[in-house]
Structure 1
């Protein structure tokens, strides 16, 4: 806005303030703005933070004098760290800074050799300013300091520089920073920040099908899993260090137009169908598949997962099989064809005869109410995280309504959007309330693509929290099909360090890479259509498992705040396009990590890595010891360091660097604001 003084380009601000920006408890939230005025008088700004009722500042707002950027004098910035969930507000106010204007003028004139007589008016004006400033200082001792300076400026006993020195001292500047003298105050608009629990930003996911946990019988035939066998499977997931275990739909599966193995239209009698064909005569979205167990069995599973430190996420797939109770009782929830049949889902050339999509325009009042009731059914049982299937095929205003209504009573509920779609829709869904979002990470494989992707997700951190799944039941990327075992470690290292959120679909640790057909991203014998029991223990014992490496990645993530933040990442120059290098520094603790990855799964690669030392808090000529958190080895490191990585050995270095502190950390925070605005 432009008032007496101009306040423009305030960040974070989403869609001109239509939606709140995103943050989590304990996250450093940078705030910046452009403030300017006419002429040469100094202008400053104040950041005012208002917290929810349970915050430490609930009783009275927090006022922070914003810093002026050293490279752009019109840019001001500051930060705050929310301590509780809820809606926080911030406001940037601009004001004329007569004290800074006076200091600048007096300093320049003294340096130019002007006499006391020439500065007489300046000294009297300064004394008046200090008297005025003193009136706004509540602390008696600090007030006396300013009053004494005013008195000194009016006397003629000391030499000019001696008289002025107290007005320019660090002590005086700190008092004025805490209690500034503000004139021509121009108030900005309040902006909202929705602060969620930390798991909305920092989390590792593992996806498994409960029905595939039953093992095999004496003849080697798969046995349908239960919630009891699923509980036993969670021990391995917890041992790998995952935070959330996600189950595809656990509801009854439709029998009408049921799909067979490999998406066959002609199922065999023992085919189990796709769990995304939700509902049958046995029940709908508020029931569980009878072969898995009962609702009470599921509650027992939730309790066991909690003991292991795991959170259970279930699938929210808003669609129905042809024999779902909704298709019988609420035909107006769907789209009717001219011939009287209900339209099934299509994504040409794909056809989903076993799934009816909802039509939210037919009977929105009842559809909204039914879905809310169903979601709250699972919330009351103890589910706190939902992975939402294809949210971009449902109206955005529906999601805004549903998520906000759920959060009215349960603000800790996390919604992950499975929306592989265009940026406007992906970010739009994040704006209306989704805590996390799937991304196009899976398809970003080159150094250029990965660099652009990582810089984008950092820049969009106020909007969207990206969950970097390395694979899904629907996505077996060509790189995994043809990259050999090394590519699985490479992609895991990238996903686990580029974002505080990452995910793995079961079978990845066994290097599963067979596609159903050439040029397809569908798995052969896809678990979407059949049981897929796996002998993880045998693979681990034979050394044919990525489990230890995944566990190491999750341990590193858990122990290092630098990898638990999204806003700050910097890429360093490596002339070899097969080697990518980036650093992350936590702006709160100063924890610093350098990641160097060989992107070539078939050959050794080497380069001379050139570090931007200022981005890791080091001087250009510094040398230090870098500790590899994967192997435990130490390496001497310099601004230019030779690196060699092998797909048959170390595919990546994840290096702990010296902690960044003091002025170096302040510089990194300031640079992060500029990168973020760029």
Structure 2
């Protein structure tokens, strides 16, 4: 079967007009939680949990202050956890194949249900989610949720699926290790064995017997074909079969269409009809590009303005997943994020040349790369293992938000310097905000201020940091030179400093010079020439730094004198 090749599925102008996309990622479980107990491995009753209803009009207006236009609600779809909801007809999960007490949002136990933790009234949980979607839309914002296509929880079973929908594996021939008609991969003649997990004793141990009934064993989500996964495998998940025989040279069977393809398409249509405007697609590269090529156009027929964001880490296939697969955007982690992290941390090998290299590597689809400094997988900037101070990332955030036309993302708490301190439980003390545990996020809770969402408990440094993000994101989303302009990089030999990076963003009507000094202690002074391609026969005048709203001196001739303090940036309009 030959599938038609797609050209990039949608232009930015078709999705958001000429406005830059600004995404705010939050976990409702953590976002609305006012409980400050933060007991290691604390239960829901001990540590609390946020609810759909906590994300009210005040909260959404707080996000709009950051020029956000899309909210990525992480952990919406029902996933395996150790909280008992059996009285509501929700089966309990087995502790031997659940990470943490709250569980991983990426171990889906029912694609057609929402997480009961997030509901005030559990039987009414889907309506409470739909009400959140309506509130978000009423605030002028759009909704993104996770789509987890590669794997499901070990105990997957949908007890609320629509009539006529078949469960994954319901009709599998388990005597075959691989069949394109099967939803799962099987290890014939072998029973699943719980991995030897060497961890600090914790409250979930009393729920474990190191037994899980799975016969024959199924392949694990990260492509482990062992009946006894290692403890760092994704042992809580099972791999879905998209028609690729991994144990026989990855031979493909895409004609006829494998059943998993159809089931996943129907799931996406189901959620789009709930009002969802986009999907962040987990480990998109672990699913064959042919599936995306087949599925995305069909789902967009139902809702043309949907966006699909792929979590991707292999630059060699970026073009394929965008052009052939039809993704609207992919993560820019391996390129820009990794380059900026070294500069933020002031590593000896940090060099702004890596920014230039990262941008060159995505030439031709730069405006399709989602840029960020934090998300649920990455270390918090202010954590002891990253930078220790959120202010060290300000120059990098300027680059992240203004380098291209592409979307920019902020992770909740980033804008108030959340340091991710504490041993949460399964999440450990790993410089990240846990996704596995019930937890309160302290700096975010200060902004939340017991549901007022007014920043009433923030200290002055935290208030200043949030104001910086407000100003920067407003500039990046409202200035056409950033949202829709061209790019010209100032030659590095002109700057002669490997910790200073500068570039122009410009249109016929607007010209900006953006310059960032990553030096922590040294100022930068120099002259930046204004190239003719940027000036476009106009005489430069009236330079102003949009970040500080201060007028700058304009010397005679086509150049700007730059004076830049350590660890700072300027966005100069002239």
TM-score higher than 0.5 here?
yes
Q: Which has the higher strand share?
A: 1
Q: Distance in 2 between matches of 1:302 and 1:255?
A: 24
Aligned to 1:442: 337
**1:615-651 CA distance string (max 9 Å, x none):** 321669x552211111110102344444232347xx1
Q: Distance in 2 between matches of 1:590 and 1:434?
A: 31
Distance 1:347 1:238, change over 3 A: farther
Q: Aligned match of 1:351 in 233, 245, 251?
A: 233
Q: Distance in 2 between matches of 1:321 and 1:478?
A: 31
Assess if the C-alpha contact under 8 Å between 1:299 and 1:381 holds in 2: yes
- Residue correspondence of structure 1 range 354-373 to structure 2 within 5 A: 354-361=236-243, 364-373=257-266
Distance 1:243 1:270, change over 3 A: same
Where does structure 1 lack aligned partners over 5 or more consecutive residues? 1-16, 27-195, 259-264, 658-678
Assess if the C-alpha contact under 8 Å between 2:422 and 2:429 holds in 1: yes
Distance 1:266 1:370, change over 3 A: closer
Distance 1:385 1:553, change over 3 A: same
Distance 1:238 1:333, change over 3 A: same
Q: Aligned match of 1:276 in 86, 89, 106?
A: 106
Assess if the C-alpha contact under 8 Å between 1:473 and 1:526 holds in 2: yes
Of structures 1 and 2, the one with the larger relative CO (CA 8 A, separation 6+) is 2
Mapped pair 1:611 → 2:529: yes
- Residue correspondence of structure 1 range 246-265 to structure 2 within 5 A: 246-255=72-81
Distance 1:316 1:205, change over 3 A: same
Aligned to 1:222: 47
Secondary structure of 1:376's match?
helix
- Residue correspondence of structure 1 range 59-70 to structure 2 within 5 A: none
Provide the aligned C-alpha RMSD in A: 3.3
Residue-pair matches, total: 451
Aligned to 1:508: 414
Assess if the C-alpha contact under 8 Å between 1:474 and 1:522 holds in 2: no
Secondary structure of 1:624's match?
coil
Assess if the C-alpha contact under 8 Å between 2:8 and 2:326 holds in 1: no
TM-score normalised by length of structure 1: 0.61
Q: Aligned match of 2:283 in 373, 383, 390?
A: 390
- Residue correspondence of structure 1 range 430-579 to structure 2 within 5 A: 430-431=322-323, 432-439=325-332, 440=334, 441-445=336-340, 446-461=351-366, 465-476=368-379, 481-482=386-387, 484-500=389-405, 501-513=407-419, 523-524=430-431, 526-534=433-441, 535=445, 536=447, 537-538=455-456, 540-545=458-463, 546-565=465-484, 567-572=486-491, 573-579=494-500
Mapped pair 1:329 → 2:160: no
- Residue correspondence of structure 1 range 184-333 to structure 2 within 5 A: 196-198=14-16, 202-217=20-35, 221-231=46-56, 233-255=59-81, 271-279=101-109, 284-293=110-119, 294-318=125-149, 319-325=151-157, 326=167, 329=170, 332-333=182-183
Distance 1:292 1:277, change over 3 A: same
Secondary structure of 2:62's match?
helix
Q: Distance in 1 between matches of 2:126 and 2:98?
A: 29
Where does structure 2 lack aligned partners over 5 or more consecutive residues? 39-45, 85-94, 120-124, 158-166, 173-181, 191-215, 225-229, 245-252, 341-350, 448-454
TM-score normalised by length of structure 2: 0.71
Secondary structure of 1:594's match?
strand
Assess if the C-alpha contact under 8 Å between 2:395 and 2:517 holds in 1: yes
**1:157-194 CA distance string (max 9 Å, x none):** xxxxxxxxxxxxxxxxxxxxxxxxxxxxxxxxxxxxxx
Which entry has the higher C-alpha Rg, 1 or 2? 1
Secondary structure of 1:287's match?
strand
Q: Distance in 2 between matches of 1:358 and 1:235?
A: 39
Secondary structure of 1:333's match?
coil
- Residue correspondence of structure 1 range 48-87 to structure 2 within 5 A: none
